[in-house]
Structure 1
Amino acid sequence: MTRSLRRDLYAAGAAALLVTAAVLIGRHIQGTSRTLFVDWPPLLASWGPHLGPGTPAAVVLAIATVAYGPTLAARLPWRALLALTWGTATAWICSLALIDGWDRGIARRLTTRYEYLQVIDRFENIPAALRDFTHHILLDSPDNWPAHIAGHPPAATLTFVLLDRIGLRGGGWAGMWCITVGATACLAVLVTIRVLADESLARRAAPFLVLAPAAVWMGTSADAYFAAVAAWAVALLALAVTRRSLWWAGASGLLFGLTCYLSYGLTLVALIAAAVLVLGRHGIRERPALLVPLLAGAAVVPAAFTLAGFDWWEAYRLLVTRYHQGAGGIRPYGYWVWANLACTVLITGLATAAGLRRTGAVLFRRRAGTPHPRAEPRLALLVSAALLALLVADLSGMSKAETERIWLPFALWLLPSCALLPHPRAWLTGQVVLALLLNHLLLTGW
């Protein structure tokens, strides 16, 4: 065993110990003071071993992708690889969701009392609903919004309102929207890596993006949809700066603006965007006009909502108050500030812990002046920016619990670090075993 591989295993072992500590200490805190408000800390889940109609498909898909995924990723034409990645990711997310059955796993996920479909009828007059949105955020306000509606800017809810308007009504359509759109986030990450680092690293990362344990929570979670929008905003920015395209820059700006009106916390995607701008700085120097459509595009969605009467800053201020009115004001920061990182281990897997160890090694060697392939430091910078965004979100204290879902838009950008690992099939096996165990042993919720 090489020294480097031994260090990878140490990193994976440390991540496993972090999860173990979060489970044991969390169970003690919840058992004594009941201040965590989760049944199976650090996850919002409950113990419930079960099988379901998605079990055979998930197992077969996992075995096939581990066996043939790395080879196909290396040999397929690029466009065929993207198509296969999206199809396989969609199938993986669906099969995991269907372990809980169609009703619980997909159709009812977005219809619970906390979710967006509960308020569709309150948006019959969309302009009036937007003007009145902030008046219903606080818990003591009349007809206060359910938790997820109050916790997000109205573009999140409007997505499902518009789906309803075009005839795609109910939890089934909403769930499949989140799955099919959310799965495209993998493609956005691959496109970004290809244009900013190199194609071989993107190809090595593809199976890890497809088989991520995060798929357990991407199944019918609106955060999967948010992750896809944010990922494409980054990908289009990468295309803009490498191809000097004003059109890609404008489209990227438009999606960045939408991202901020889907989730307040996704303003931190700006840190990943900053890494893209650093990596693509030569393109900006050659064509500084790229910043004009980028900024103009980013202003479109905020301007539209502001003109419609929605005040983003006021809504966020009220949300902070609402957060502390509920469980967020009781959950202990001292536990969640590190237990959230254990949640991240569970959604990205032990392979990502080892990949992040290699990411740090790449950056250190570059700083020390050690010769190194040019593409790997570029990938390492991109991954490090995502990790920084996640750590800032953690330290903010506005994400105590449920980060296995909330942090999906950041966690997806940590997975490409696995491209730096040798023996991909061995690491992929660990990833799928973790995902299958989580989905079969726990009843997840949000």
Structure 2
Amino acid sequence: MSDTATRSVPGTGFLDDESARRITWRRDAVCVTLGAALVATAVILPLAVGDSLRGVIFAEAAPLFGKWLPHHGPGTVPAVLIAVAAIAALPALARRLPWHRLQLLVFGTATAWTFALALVDGWKRGFAGRLVRPDEYLSVVGGVHDIPEMLRTFADRIVDGRPESWTTHVSGHPPGSLLTFVWLDRLGLGGGAWAGVWCVLIGCSATVAVMVTLRRVGAEDWARRCAPFLALFPGLVWVGVSADGYYMGVAAWGVALLAVSATASGLWGGVAGVASGLVLGFSIFLSYGMVLMGIAAVAVLIGTRTARPLLFGVPAALAVVGVFAAFGFWWLDGYHLVVERYYQGIASRRPFSYWGWANLAATTCALGPAVLAGLGRMWRPRIWTQPAALLAMSGVLMILAADLSALSKAETERIWLPFSIWVMVCTAALPVRHQRFWLCAQAALALTINHLLLTYW
């Protein structure tokens, strides 16, 4: 497929049809106001109610996980300059750059901005020290001397209250997460800095994976229009540095490979299908919540009107499950034990009556006002017949399913990153002439959060 084969003429096509032109700033304002009201309520309610609520939600800066600490750091100036340059240049470049150059530009911008945002908190506090805390993965990497033994006994160490129990984050995830950082250490890339680089690079690559998926389902016009928003995704605040950024990248590439398999013929379609199964299969061993990525996979299959990739992907995914089982870890056992562990800690006290909706407020902070406006513009005739719109809606459905599970109470601004990145697709529905305005709002939100709060990730 050539760089220009599927390129839409800027300002024309389905995204700018008559129904889109009838949508005014009034609807945008209503959607953003509703989102802002949700966030404001989540902030004000604990302050108004007092200790009876603040004492059990366990989030000093609710609905976000962190603490109020206005500050600046070595990343402040670079973060602002990168945002200004991206706002000025990306909307026009996204329309005219050759496809592969645009992908590199989006990835490079997202990566540079994420590093800069992390360094607002300083090198140690904001980057190199994030994953070495006592509750994180790297604190136990040095104790893993025998990988097969670690996998065989992993489930036995999930439940808390035992001398050999895993730390909070290791116990809360399948062994693939710990295994990744052990492998990095074995390769000579040990320590918090290398782990942070890994999470940022893999996480930021999700922006390209989303673009690849959109183009493969026949929506390059959507990909080009949401590209600037992917580069300045507010959720990148938590990609640098959290392991959930890594999960986001892996899962996004699994979906992208599925889209390649669905649209390629012959050998390459089969190879991409197997690769998709392997990647998505491994993703559920990074986080139990990644099983919800099946919703995005279904959206791809519906959008491309084929189930052929399942012939290759399902056996490959089952092979991954089989390998872990052969080494002694059965996913379902781990899931049931992690639910038990979840309610041994502060989750048993965190009220779902608050977090059931405040989770959505936290995620709104990771998505930004442009997404709220984009979602408002998606509600018009015929749009849900578009494969790209199905992908955007899959992100919404994954978030709602995760929320209703009651297994995420707080910290969803990072936990739901693998789902949120797909909701960003709806920013393509915003008019081209308004893009810089909304990009300013997105960047301002991320910079404000990063400078007013000391986020835990």
- Tell me the TM-score normalised to structure 1 length: 0.94
Q: Which residue of 1 aligns with 2:47?
A: 27
Could you tell me which of 298, 309, 312 is aligned with 1:274? 298
Q: Which residue of 1 aligns with 2:364?
A: 345
**Which one-letter code corresponds to 1:335 in the other structure?**
Y
**Which one-letter code corresponds to 2:161 in the other structure?**
D
For the pair 1:434 / 2:445, whether they are aligned, the reply is yes
**Which one-letter code corresponds to 1:12 in the other structure?**
V
For the pair 1:132 / 2:121, whether they are aligned, the reply is no
Shift of the alpha carbon at 1:30?
A: 6.0
Shift of the alpha carbon at 1:345?
A: 0.8
Secondary structure class of the residue paired with 1:119 = helix
CA distance in 1, matches of 2:197, 2:451: 21
Could you tell me which of 236, 260, 276 is aligned with 1:252? 276
Secondary structure class of the residue paired with 1:35 = helix
Deviates more, 1:183-192 or 1:197-206: 197-206
**Which one-letter code corresponds to 1:430 in the other structure?**
A
Q: Which residue of 2 aligns with 1:320?
A: 339
CA distance in 1, matches of 2:49, 2:151: 40
Q: Which residue of 1 aligns with 2:17?
A: none
Shift of the alpha carbon at 1:58?
A: 0.4
Contact 1:22–1:42 under 8 Å retained in 2: yes
The number of residues matched between the two structures is 431
CA distance in 1, matches of 2:197, 2:299: 32
For the pair 1:299 / 2:318, whether they are aligned, the reply is yes
Distance 1:232 1:29, change over 3 A: farther
Contact 2:300–2:387 under 8 Å retained in 1: no
For the pair 1:443 / 2:454, whether they are aligned, the reply is yes
Secondary structure class of the residue paired with 1:412 = helix
CA distance in 2, matches of 1:32, 1:209: 39
Contact 1:26–1:42 under 8 Å retained in 2: no
Deviates more, 1:30-39 or 1:252-261: 30-39
Q: Which residue of 1 aligns with 2:113?
A: 92
CA distance in 2, matches of 1:89, 1:23: 28
CA distance in 2, matches of 1:115, 1:243: 40
CA distance in 1, matches of 2:207, 2:341: 33
Could you tell me which of 187, 191, 194 is aligned with 1:173? 194
Shift of the alpha carbon at 1:29?
A: 5.0
Secondary structure class of the residue paired with 1:46 = strand
Shift of the alpha carbon at 1:142?
A: 2.6
- Kindly report which structure 2 residues correspond to 1:348-387, keeping only aligned pairs within 5 A, or say none: 348-359=367-378, 361-362=379-380, 365-366=381-382, 377-387=386-396
**Which one-letter code corresponds to 2:52 in the other structure?**
T
Deviates more, 1:340-349 or 1:139-148: 139-148
CA distance in 1, matches of 2:79, 2:407: 34
Could you tell me which of 414, 435, 441 is aligned with 1:424? 435
Deviations 1:150-170 (A, max 9, x none): 000000011000000000010
Shift of the alpha carbon at 1:140?
A: 1.6
Contact 2:127–2:193 under 8 Å retained in 1: yes
Contact 2:302–2:387 under 8 Å retained in 1: no
CA distance in 1, matches of 2:302, 2:334: 32
**Which one-letter code corresponds to 1:153 in the other structure?**
P
Deviations 1:252-307 (A, max 9, x none): 000110011000011000011011111112x44xxx4x422211211122111100
Long gaps (5+) in structure 1? 367-371
Q: Which residue of 1 aligns with 2:12?
A: none
CA distance in 1, matches of 2:246, 2:49: 33
CA distance in 1, matches of 2:49, 2:112: 38
CA distance in 2, matches of 1:212, 1:163: 27
Shift of the alpha carbon at 1:220?
A: 1.5
CA distance in 1, matches of 2:33, 2:411: 23
**Runs of 4 or more consecutive aligned structure 1 residues displaced over 6 Å after TM superposition:** none
C-alpha RMSD of the superposition: 1.4
- Kindly report which structure 2 residues correspond to 1:32-51, keeping only aligned pairs within 5 A, or say none: 32-33=52-53, 34-51=55-72
Distance 1:30 1:394, change over 3 A: farther
CA distance in 2, matches of 1:433, 1:46: 19
CA distance in 2, matches of 1:266, 1:103: 30
Shift of the alpha carbon at 1:117?
A: 0.2
Deviations 1:308-337 (A, max 9, x none): 001211111111111111011110001001
Could you tell me which of 262, 271, 281 is aligned with 2:286? 262
Contact 2:217–2:388 under 8 Å retained in 1: yes
Shift of the alpha carbon at 1:386?
A: 1.3
Contact 2:23–2:377 under 8 Å retained in 1: no
**Which one-letter code corresponds to 1:20 in the other structure?**
A
- Kindly report which structure 2 residues correspond to 1:65-84, keeping only aligned pairs within 5 A, or say none: 65-84=86-105
Distance 1:23 1:114, change over 3 A: same
CA distance in 1, matches of 2:322, 2:46: 43
**Which one-letter code corresponds to 2:421 in the other structure?**
L
Distance 1:214 1:200, change over 3 A: same
**Which one-letter code corresponds to 1:114 in the other structure?**
D
For the pair 1:394 / 2:403, whether they are aligned, the reply is yes
Deviations 1:73-105 (A, max 9, x none): 111100000111111110010000000111111
Q: Which residue of 2 aligns with 1:369?
A: none
Secondary structure class of the residue paired with 2:454 = strand
CA distance in 2, matches of 1:266, 1:4: 37
Long gaps (5+) in structure 2? 1-20
Q: Which residue of 1 aligns with 2:209?
A: 188
CA distance in 2, matches of 1:251, 1:26: 46
- Tell me the TM-score normalised to structure 2 length: 0.92
